Amino acid sequence: MGIIRLRVREFADQRGWTLKEVSTRSGVPYTTVTTYAKSLGMSTVDYTALQKLARTFDILVEDLVEILED
């Protein structure tokens, strides 16, 4: 199973948004946003949340995901 890191904090910082603002703008629960932003590597994620975050940042889902391990 692969391990990924989500680039939530990077995209939030680029826009000058807090994680709370990301949550509000995207509709993704704050706890989920903070988990994704702080995790050094995860094996499972909620794809619907990824879509919402990518749409909020106006990027592709693929840009949000960094593959750490296949």
Residue 22 pLDDT greater than 90, yes or no: yes
What is the Cβ-side half-sphere exposure of residue 69, based on CA atoms within 13 angstroms? 8
Instruction: Kindly report the number of other CB atoms within 10 A of residue 30's CB atom.
Output: 12
Give the chain's length: 70
Q: Are 8 and 33 in contact (CB under 8 A)?
A: yes
Across 16-25, 37-46, 54-63, least confident range: 37-46
Between 11-15, 29-33, 63-67, the lowest mean confidence (pLDDT) is in: 63-67
Mean pLDDT of the chain: 94
Count of domains in the chain?
Answer: 1
Residue numbers of the domain that contains 13: 3-69
With 80 as the cut, is the pLDDT of residue 18 above it?
A: yes
In the predicted structure, residue 6 carries a pLDDT above the cut 70: yes
CATH assignment of the domain containing 56: 1.10.260.40
Q: Which residues contact 30 (CB under 8 A, 6 or more apart)?
A: 19, 20, 23
pLDDT at 1: 59
